[in-house]
């Protein structure tokens, strides 16, 4: 079936470096994408979102890039900090879907001192 998937289950980066987390989606009907951060034992927290009519959106230290041609989504975190350690999920919303959110498998971001 159609699903959202992540290329890397674990990503280890040095503190201060930039992190890039990737996500591939397969449903061309998706029109809205969200990145969530989930710390251990907690619910997912909204990080940033992007609609399909955009290619890039920036937040505080985070940037989401959307490439609809290859159905690829990425989350860039600048100057990674220890508090960024978490599992990151991408989610897609199907256009017109009652719920729409389909979650990827998640990438565990590990920050090394």
Partner 1 sequence: GAVVSQHPSWVICKSGTSVKIECRSLDFQATTMFWYRQFPKQSLMLMATSNEGSKATYEQGVEKDKFLINHASLTLSTLTVTSAHPEDSSFYICRARQGAGNYGYTFGSGTRLTVV
Choose the stretch contacting partner 1; rule: CB under 8 A; options: 11-19, 63-71, 73-81, 91-99: 91-99
By CB under 8 A, tell whether 42 contacts partner 1: yes
CB of 105 to partner 1, least distance (A): 5
Phi-psi region of 41 (alpha: psi -120 to 50; beta: other; left: phi over 0): left
Q: Are 75 and 104 in contact (CB under 8 A)?
A: no
- 43 vs 82 by CB, closer to partner 1: 43
Question: Within 10 A of 113 (CB to CB), how many other CB atoms are there?
Answer: 6
Closest CA to 84 of 10, 19, 33, 23: 19
Q: Select from 24, 48, 65, 101 the one that contacts partner 1 (CB under 8 A).
A: 101
Choose the stretch contacting partner 1; rule: CB under 8 A; options: 21-29, 30-38, 58-66, 67-75: 30-38
């Amino acid at each position: 079936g159609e699903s959202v998937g992540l290329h890397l289950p674990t990503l280890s980066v040095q503190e201060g470096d930039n992190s890039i987390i990737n996500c591939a989606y397969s449903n061309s009907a998706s029109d809205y994408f969200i990145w969530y951060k989930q710390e251990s034992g907690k619910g997912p927290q909204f990080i940033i979102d992007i609609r399909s009519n955009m290619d890039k959106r920036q937040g505080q230290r985070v940037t989401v890039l959307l490439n609809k041609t290859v159905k690829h989504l990425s989350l860039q975190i600048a100057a990674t900090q220890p508090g960024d350690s978490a599992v990151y999920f991408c989610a897609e919303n199907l256009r017109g879907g009652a719920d729409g959110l389909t979650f990827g498998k998640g990438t565990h971001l590990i920050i090394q001192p």
